[in-house]
Amino acid sequence: MLILTRKVGEEITIGEEIVISVLEVRGSHVRLGIKAPPSFTIHRGEIYERIREENLRASSIALAQAGALSEKLRSVLPETPSALKSS
Partner 1 sequence: MMNSELVVDKGSTVSSLSAAEQAVFHFPQGLPGFEDLTRFLLCEREGLKPLTLLVALDVADVALPLLRSAEFLIDYSPPILASDLEALDAKSVEELDLFVVVTFEGSGDGVAVNLMAPICMNLTRRLGRQVVLPDGMYPLHYPLVRTHE
Chain positions contacting partner 1, by CB under 8 A: 37-41, 43-44, 47-48, 50-59, 61-67, 69-70, 72-78, 81-85, 87
- Distance of closest approach, residue 16 Cβ to partner 1, in angstroms: 18
Cβ distance to partner 1 smaller for residue 31 or 52: 52
- Distance of closest approach, residue 80 Cβ to partner 1, in angstroms: 8
Cβ distance to partner 1 smaller for residue 5 or 86: 86
Q: Is 18 exposed, middle or buried (0-12, 13-18, 19+ CB in 10 A)?
A: middle
For residue 52, CA distances in Å to 26, 48, 55 come to 30, 6, 5
In DSSP terms, which residues pair with 29 in a beta bridge?
A: 26
Cβ distance to partner 1 smaller for residue 1 or 83: 83
Distance, CA of 25 to CA of 32 (rounded, Å): 9
- Distance of closest approach, residue 7 Cβ to partner 1, in angstroms: 28
